[in-house]
Structure 1
Amino acid sequence: MNSQYDQAVWKRLLDYYGRATPWSRQLWRLSTPLEIDELLEAGKARHSATLSDGSIKYLMQSLAERVKRDVGIGDLKQRGTLVGHLAKGLTPEGHNVYAIQLLAEQARANYLERWAAEARKGKISSEVVSRAVGSYLLDIGFSQDALHKWWTYHGRHSPKAAGIADLIEEAATLSRRPKICFDILVPITSTPPLPDQRDPAWLDSTAAAGWLSYWFPGELHPRQTGALLVEIEARDVYSAVEQVAEVVTRLTARFRVGTRQKLVFHDELFVVGEEKSWPYIQAPRRVEVHALHRTSAIFDLNLSQDINAALELLEPLDSGTPAAAIAGSWAAIEALFVGPGDTNERVVAATRMARIVACSYVRAELTALANGYAISFDDSLAGRLRALNANFEKALAFEGEIRSGNSITFKRTRHKLALDRMTALIAKPENILPKIVGQLEDSFRRLYRQRNLVVHAGDLTSVALRGTLRTVAPLVGAGIDRIVHASAVGKKSPIELSAIAEVNLASVGEDGKRLVLLLS
């Protein structure tokens, strides 16, 4: 890939799939095809009184706007037809629902090929192309790790004549392959006695040892009292291991409340076809509230009651079961942002959280750029940035440099792309910031809908559950981080901070106020 455009799409895809990518550069939304499935699912939930009319209406309107812009769905006529049906009712098993399902299937058939064609033209921004392709591959079941390896390898080793459009076409071929069936054994180190009549997935120690000896004759086998043997259908081995980790988490939680005897799994598992055992402990969802440490609030025994409660409710979002993560994280947001007069409009918490995170996004990106420049260069700007102690001061100085119109460049493509995004944002904040708030509000409202499905219907099978946890967890952490900082440093309540964000965002671009100061 020789063109800057191709490099930009490729680097952003690697950002989306990288485990260490900061929240401000990750994907915040699901793909359009999955959002269509989510809407159809929401229609069923509405008829069982789990979701409200307002919730469905918001999702429908938001999705319709996405469909209009998403060239992967089809040409203008095809998109218009789908938008027309989205505006109608969602009665389960009704004519309109069947029409939407059919149109969605047609869209999926060549979704990536259409985006490849657009990438070949190079007219749609690299950011839009990468988000569409990146989210679609995750939403059909590929793991971040597998996709990162795939794009890294093909981006580096494909023929020089191959461009990003060719790689997207290869990814389309990859997406049509059937799922792979994986046989996976998780040894157990402690378990209650197994009943005589049991699911064949539960192996006693003798059967587990025989299985390990047959499939892994040269491997050192762990000490075990039995094993769980599961068959998983997945897109790749990383995804299969993630699914097993979820099964182990659920079973461990079940046994914790169902018996006084412990069920303890070994920290590695064995996959037929792989040479060695795999660690499988579920990776944290990266809920990061570093303000607790920066302000020493982590040692404060007298944190405000609402923040103290929110932090406790938030803990499962980082590594807990999906049910606890969804219910706890929304409860934390609602506790912070629903105040006097808001009792009948609890979803307003999603809007308020979105505004705070949008303001935080600007500061996070400018801070990353300032620190990156200070490390990479040795000119006067880099010297001034290194002389500043606080990240806030560095971000403010870097924003001033962009506003002054002075030439700034970076060697790394990722920083160049981030600089382009921030330069455009600073030039037209009144146009771009509302779109950022809108994307974030979509994500937090999705969390609210998932919470209602979990709490009111006990539904843990939503098509959007896994994607919600993947996209929203870092965003919740970013918002709570700003709330803790505002409380510890400025003695501001969450409601007060949300009011500041709303007022400042409403007047952005009019008074020339620095964007780093949006939460001030």
Structure 2
Amino acid sequence: MSAPSQFILEPIVVDRIRELCDPSAPWFRSLWTVGTVTALLEVVESVNATWDNVLTNDGAMADFKKNAMSLVKGDLGLGSEVVREKLRLIIIKLKPESTNEGRTALAELEQFITRCRLPYLENWASAIESGQVADQQFESMCRSLASHLLDDGLHPKHLVGWIDKRRGSLNAVELIREAKLLANAQMKTYEFAVPFVKMSREVRNSLDKGHLMAVADFEALYYSCENSVKSGPLVSAPQCVLKVSFQAKDPHSALDSVREWAKRVASRAALATASLGVNLNDQVVEIGAKKIWALADQDLLRVPSILRENAVDAIDDSAQSKQLDDALAMLAPHLQSTAGVSAATLWAACEGLLGRVQSNGHSVADRLADVVACSFIREELFELVKRWRQETRGSSGPDIRHGTTFEQMTVMVDHIVSSGDPGFKRPEEQAAVARIHELATSSAPTVKRVRAYLQTAFRRLYYQRNFVMHSAKFDSVSLSMTSRIAPRLVAAGLDQIVNAHFRSGSVPPLGLAARAAIELDLVGQPGGKHIATLLS
């Protein structure tokens, strides 16, 4: 048995897991993948859908199998190398046609998933302790652990708060072992009082009386909450208050269920009365804990190029501009949509810009993945340059006081390759330096892996859209994960497309995607561009 790597035991590991879970982290440092257990469940779902002719071809099944086998290979949370190889061979036996061998393999896979769930985190802790985790596995390990915890029903904000209380006092092994209790916790019932400041009498009269709470009782409950002073007084007296309960592992997850339910209430009322006559108060009360929560979803999408290029009120009658406007209009409904509607509108925005006549969804997903892969490298470097400007002291480290932004990013990369971390204070930048070092020194395989991550994320969005639009399936095993992962990645792609439209001689979306594919193919090859300037 080897000693664990000191790097793997450093606080940077805990901080990186936290960053991956943090919904406020920039998209290029966030989590793009589902956990391995969820990936295996996607295989089961796609196989059944293929065999039952719910899907018209085996494309989804092939993609999910490929992704799962890639994750299984290096995921020490599943167990020993022998166990992982056994799992891989079972997946290989699954074919598009339903056979006795295939049905046996599917039953074995389902049992394997059950077998892997409970000891997953302990397996990782033991692997670190026994020295099985090398420094270069740092990023993949953090992604595996963060995605497993999130997929297990824990809310990102709850996980971040939980980690914050333990930062500085626990190393990676200790954190993982404590996280076992969190992940294996039983579901709890959370009851909320949800005030509506506007609801027509017609709608109010149709409500289940068992759900109603007297307005006076709600106001008394509100002002009895410990955080009522911080939350401030009720701006408007509600016309109606409904009580609703949800099962969840933490209050943030329960609050997400309240948001989803409230959107459905508003949609049903609008359809029933042909009017937008339902408005919610932004604050709801968790009844048992006597705590006020903000209902508004703060995790909104951003396409900053719209502001950078002064395009908010731009008027352009060209066909390309109208195409872009329509895509942005389809992206906007995501902000108020349920997960299924979000998948459909997000994909419509992608397909409207990057689709060709008779081209399939794979092609659209892969084009967008190439654009976002180039953007990822640039954004990661730009963030390091910006942070270094803020942290620069004396003459140590790279001198980025002069030159264009791209020249400064090139200087930063060259310094990281030759001298390592210049001395960033925050663990977020220290982890980013490790990623940039790998991109610069092992460019071709690292870029290939980044492209694969993004292709899988966008293809998953395509398949979720197909489940919703063509199979009326709103309960896919990874729909909620897709809703967490895909929106900001799509927004990042559209940001690049907006930038190219206004700044780069009006390069069309398909032209930008073609350029991105060319440059990514040439990374690390003779004639390839510096990684800081792929789309410049």
TM-score, reference length from structure 1: 0.91
2:269 is equivalent to residue 269 of structure 1: no
Match of 1:28 among 15, 27, 32: 32
2:4 is equivalent to residue 5 of structure 1: no
Give 1:214 shift: 7.0
Q: Deviations over 1:333-388 (max 9, x none)?
A: 11211225xx1423201111111111111111111111111110134577952444
2:532 is equivalent to residue 516 of structure 1: yes
Deviates more, 1:179-188 or 1:118-127: 118-127
Give 1:420 shift: 1.5
1:300 counterpart residue number = 314
Paired AA for residue 48 in structure 2: K
2:187 counterpart residue number = 179
1:103 counterpart residue number = 112
3-state DSSP of counterpart to 2:193: strand
Match of 1:145 among 157, 173, 190: 157
Asked if structure 1 preserves the Cα contact closer than 8 Å seen for 2:406 and 2:533, the reply is no
**Counterparts of 1:393 and 1:443 in 2: how far apart (Å)?**
31
Paired AA for residue 485 in structure 2: T
Give 1:117 shift: 1.2
Structure 2 unmatched ranges of 5 or more: none
Match of 1:452 among 466, 476, 483: 466
**Counterparts of 2:509 and 2:58 in 1: how far apart (Å)?**
28
1:484 counterpart residue number = 498
3-state DSSP of counterpart to 1:227: strand
3-state DSSP of counterpart to 1:298: coil
2:341 is equivalent to residue 329 of structure 1: no
Give 1:440 shift: 0.5
Give 1:494 shift: 1.0
Asked if structure 1 preserves the Cα contact closer than 8 Å seen for 2:54 and 2:471, the reply is no
**Counterparts of 2:354 and 2:104 in 1: how far apart (Å)?**
40
Structure 1 segments of 4+ aligned residues over 6 angstroms from their partners: 218-222
Structure 1 unmatched ranges of 5 or more: none
Give 1:408 shift: 2.3
3-state DSSP of counterpart to 2:196: strand
* Paired residues for 1:2-401 under 5 Å: 4-6=7-9, 7-46=11-50, 47-50=52-55, 52-87=57-92, 88-89=94-95, 94-122=103-131, 123-124=133-134, 125-156=137-168, 158=169, 162-193=170-201, 198-199=207-208, 202-203=211-212, 206=214, 209-210=216-217, 213=220, 223-261=237-275, 262-284=277-299, 286-302=300-316, 304-339=321-356, 343-380=358-395, 384-388=399-403, 391-401=405-415
Relative distance call for 1:391 and 1:312 in structure 2 (3 A) is farther
Match of 1:443 among 454, 457, 467: 457
Asked if structure 2 preserves the Cα contact closer than 8 Å seen for 1:375 and 1:382, the reply is no
Asked if structure 2 preserves the Cα contact closer than 8 Å seen for 1:182 and 1:237, the reply is yes
Paired AA for residue 101 in structure 1: E
Relative distance call for 1:400 and 1:50 in structure 2 (3 A) is same
How many residues get paired? 510
Paired AA for residue 130 in structure 1: C
Relative distance call for 1:50 and 1:437 in structure 2 (3 A) is same
Percent sequence identity over aligned pairs: 27
Deviates more, 1:434-443 or 1:54-63: 54-63
Paired AA for residue 142 in structure 1: L
* Paired residues for 1:407-422 under 5 Å: 408-422=422-436
Asked if structure 2 preserves the Cα contact closer than 8 Å seen for 1:45 and 1:51, the reply is no
Give 1:131 shift: 1.1
**Counterparts of 2:204 and 2:489 in 1: how far apart (Å)?**
44
3-state DSSP of counterpart to 2:191: strand
3-state DSSP of counterpart to 1:301: coil
3-state DSSP of counterpart to 2:361: coil
